[in-house]
Amino acid sequence: MARINDHYLKLAGGYLFPEVGRRVEAFRVAHPDADLIRLGIGDVVLPLPRSVRDAMHRAIDEMGTEEGFRGYAPDQGYPFLQQAIARVEYGSRGVEIAPDEIFISDGSKCDSANIQEIFSPEARIAVPDPTYPVYVDSNVMAGRSGPADANGSYAGLVYLPCTEATGFLPEPPDEPVDLVYLCSPNNPTGSAASREQLERWVAWANRNQAILLYDAAYASYITQAGLPHSIFEIEGARRVAIEFRSLSKSAGFTGLRLAWVAVPRELEGRDASGAAVSIFDLWKRRHATKFNGVAYPVQAGAAAAYTPEGQAEVRELVDYYLANARALLEGLGSAGLRTFGGINAPYVWLETPAGTGSWEFFDRLLEESSLVGTPGAGFGPAGEGYFRLSAFSKRDRIDEAVGRIEKLRF
C-alpha cells in the first residue's frame, strides 16, 4: 500500500463548511418541509453584472472564430486584466503595484493555501484566532504543526487571539515567526484594520524579517473613510507583504473563479545559507509549473468589472449585501444580542447568549428557527462563544431571519 502524508491525519475533524453542511443535511432530511435560511458559508446570491456577462459572451464568440481562438492563457494572466487591476485597485489609491507583479488565479482559497509551499517546512507560522480555516489546515497538511489539542489548537502554530479587547483583529506576536496570515476586512469577525494597525504590522515585520500574508478578499466592503484597502498603502509593505485579492465577493465570481496574488519584486526570503532569494521569482516559478491560467472568457469578464459601468454594477452588489449586514446588526441588536463587524464586511459576528457554546447555538438556531449560521469555534478556539452570520442572501430572507431570531428567547 502507498504511504500517505501522515500530516493529513492530524487534521482535527472535517473542513468547517462541509461539517456545517452535514448537520444541515441531517436536519433537512428530518424536517423536509422546513423553510431553511442559509447564512452560513459566505456565498453570493445575486446575478452577475451585465457588463461582465456581455464581455464573457463576446469572449466566447471570439473563441469560436479562426482569428479569435485562444489556447492556453498566459499562466500569470492576460496583460489586459493585470493592467486593469493595477490601475483600478492600486494606482487609483496611490499604490505602486506593477501589472506584472499581479498573478491571476482561480481563487484566494487556493492562493492562500498554496503560498506556504514556497517557504521552508520549518517556517514558524502565526495565524489569527479565530481565522479562515484554510490558513491553518494548509500548514498542518504541510507538516508545520504537531497534533491538535482538545480545543483544536495545533502544537507549533502561533495563535494570535482576536478578542473584544483587540477589536477582533490580531496584534503582532512577541515571539519570532516567519509568516503571519492577516485578513482585513476580517473573516470571520467582520472587523477591518486601521492604517495605524497596519503600520504597526508592517513595522513589526520589517524589524523581525517576517512576511505578512495579507488576505484582502473583502476589501470592496470597506465603507469607513481612511481604512486601507491594500496592505501596500502602508509605507514599507513592499518589502514584507504578499496580498491576496478576489472578485468572488465583489463582482459575484464565486462560481466563475477569479482572484490574484500581488507579489512585490523587492520581497525577499532566505535560503539555507542565509542568502537572499526573490519571493517573486519563486512564486512565478511555482505558478508556471502548477497552473495553466484562468479561462479567457472569465478574464474578459473580470476586466469588464473594471470598466466604469462594471465598477458601478459591482458597487451596487456590494451595497446590497452591506445593507443586509446593517439589517442583521439592527435586528440582532434589538433581539438583545451583542454584535460586531458588519460595517466594513459582509459578516456579522455575534456573541452567543451566556453559557451557550457556539455549536450549541448553531444547533439551536437550526432546530428552533431553521436558520443556518457558522459557529465561531469552527474558526478557531478563540471563536468559541461567538457565531458568524453572512449577509450574502436576498433581502427578504435576511428580514425573515431577523424576525425568527427576534422570536427566540435568549
Phi, psi at 235, each rounded to 5°: -55, 130
CB atoms within 10 A of CB 294: 24
- Alpha-carbon gap, residue 45 to 391, rounded angstroms: 10
Can you read off the three cell numbers belonging to residue 330? 439592527
Nearest distance from residue 43's CB to ligand MLT, in Å? 6
| CB 211 within 8 Å of CB 269 | yes
Task: Return the H-helix or E-strand segment holding 242.
Answer: strand 241-246
Closest to ligand MLT by CB, 41 or 408: 41
- Identify which range of 23-31, 41-49, 168-176, 193-201 contacts ligand MLT by CB under 6 A: 41-49
* The binder of ligand MLT chosen from 41, 98, 141, 408 (CB under 6 A): 41
Applying CB under 6 A, among 105, 187, 324, 344 the residue interacting with ligand MLT is 187
Q: Which stretch binds ligand MLT (CB under 6 A): 40-48, 162-170, 177-185, 262-270?
A: 40-48
| Number of residues in contact with ligand MLT under rule CB under 6 A | 5
Interaction mask 78-107, ligand MLT, x per CB under 6 A: ------------------------------
Displacement of CA 199 from its chain's centroid (Å): 21
Which lies closer to ligand MLT via its Cβ, residue 41 or residue 88?
A: 41
Question: How far lies 93's CA from each of 34, 212, 234, 242, in Å?
Answer: 47, 20, 11, 17
Dist CA 75 CA 379 (whole Å): 32
Q: Which of 111, 128, 137 is nearest to 190 (CA)?
A: 128
Whichever of 269 and 378 has its CB closer to ligand MLT, that residue is: 378
For 313, how many CA atoms within 13 A lie in the half-sphere containing its CB? 21
- For residues 220 to 249, the per-residue mask of contacts with ligand MLT, x marking binding by CB under 6 A and - elsewhere, is ------------------------------
Judged by beta carbon, residue 77 or residue 190, the one nearer ligand MLT is: 190
The stretch near ligand MLT (CB under 6 A) out of 23-31, 39-47, 95-103, 319-327 is 39-47
SS (H, E, C) 248-309: CCCCCCCCCCCEEEECCCCCEEECCCCCEEEHHHHHHHHHHHHCCCCCHHHHHHHHHCCCHH
Q: Interface residues for ligand MLT in 107-146 (CB under 6 A)?
A: 109
Taking CB under 6 A as the criterion, the residue among 37, 38, 39, 42 binding ligand MLT is: 42
- Stretch of residues binding ligand MLT (CB under 6 A), selected from 35-43, 75-83, 202-210, 235-243: 35-43
Task: Give the residues lining the site for ligand MLT (CB under 6 A).
Answer: 41-43, 109, 187
